[in-house]
Amino acid sequence: MKKYSIFLMLILLLGVTGCTINISAKKDYDDQYKTDEVSNAVEEKINSIGKISTVDSPLGVGEVGRASKHNAVLDAYQDVDVKIVGISEKPLEVVNEYNTQNIDDQFVVDDKYQLVVLDYEVTLVNFETESFGTSVGVDVEITNINGDNFIVDDEKQVIVVKKLHEDVGVVSDETGTVTIAFQIPKDVTNYLVKLGTNSHTIAYYKI
């Protein structure tokens, strides 16, 4: 009877030890799985591919640059990726369509000037937003090839930039598009489009 009791105790001890080993192994597996999940989440964060540009070393259409954009959540400026994706071959048609749909907000075309309509993209790389997102536009300035204002009739002229379309509700790491229109002197063949805020990061594009 005594031998039977000892044998029964050994069986119970082995069972408890086995359960402990199995529980411990499962915990190690779960911890490793959670670590892998966190690692994968970090890897899914996108990185900027934007190039730094200057007046003397501008980007071309289709190249990705870096530009500053005000972040309302942080109340600070952050860099985002930007890219001019295209220039309309029929700018007047685009503006006329806009004017038809926006009776109280017309863009007046002056035949003395050259009308330009272009699209640019903004990717909010690691850019914190509210849950409902944000509008993607950045500050835009049009200058001569040297980065200065155009001279018209011996006077400096600031080019007015009209926003025809802007994607809204865009959240971090997503991309949106903005369409703008402006008019430059007719004799101008090359000029700069500056995306971003002065005193912060500017993306310079030579058109």
Residue 46 pLDDT: 64
Q: Is the pTM of this model over 0.85?
A: no
Q: What is the pLDDT of residues 159-175, one digit of tens each?
A: 999 999 999 999 999 99
Q: Which residues contact 63 (CB under 8 A, 6 or more apart)?
A: 51, 83, 205
Sign of CA dihedral 54, 56, 60, 63: negative
Every domain of the chain and the residues it spans:
1-44, 64-206
Instruction: State the number of CA atoms in the 13 A half-sphere of 56 facing the CB.
Output: 0
- Number of Cβ within 10 Å of residue 63's Cβ equals 15
Among 113, 122, 152, smallest CA distance to 140 is for: 122
Mean pLDDT computed over 173-198: 96
Question: What is the rounded average pLDDT for all residues in the chain?
Answer: 85
Q: Identify the CATH number of the domain defined by range 64-206.
A: 2.60.40
